[in-house]
Structure 1
């Protein structure tokens, strides 16, 4: 599925030297702008990961220095409201969303705020505190989760 959202693409300031070069900060920002311009991203969604979608081996072997490089980014997005994980493929070369797959059967890695929230919920739990107290532990600051 291709998005036809309008997006003004700027020439990348940092020139990609090879098709397998890691994503640049500018490419990550451009990916975010393309996703936002598509209208598919809601305030409750979080982009969890960006990674280079590697071109085929044939394309890599055929590459000649100075030749334009087609860049695509694989993006993992979490829709907390609908409890879905979205796997999307974004083309930087033509500023489109090439695919958008909503999955309810996977969970991306936890974010730091989610980890800290879970830790706090554990410490706040009366049952957890009672089990610790039963073992003589009353100073929760000395407990590491």
Structure 2
């Protein structure tokens, strides 16, 4: 079993995460152009390593309340730095693991400091996991 730098087991869903976010970024671009395939976007999201700001307490650094809020996630440390504007603690994991742990009622916002920020609604990956919700994705302005 692989371990992280602390020696703890590193568990991933569906195999190793891709450290190359280009597949996810390509799928987001297609979605924003109106030519996206929600299932392809969800698959890319689940297999891509994502980075998050580490809050003081265990969990995610969310913006807004459950039902209307989102959790910022980033495709690279460079994208996280553009958002944070100053050094911060962070963690990363495959999208599948992060989304499995994401509290109900929260969407995610990808690369908020970048040139193509997007808010992805939770229905996108829940449908991919076999629920009956409709997949949607919308860009935040």
Q: TM-score, normalised by structure 1?
A: 0.26
Compare CA radii of gyration and give the structure with the larger one: 1
TM-score scaled by length of structure 2: 0.26
Q: Which has the higher strand share?
A: 1
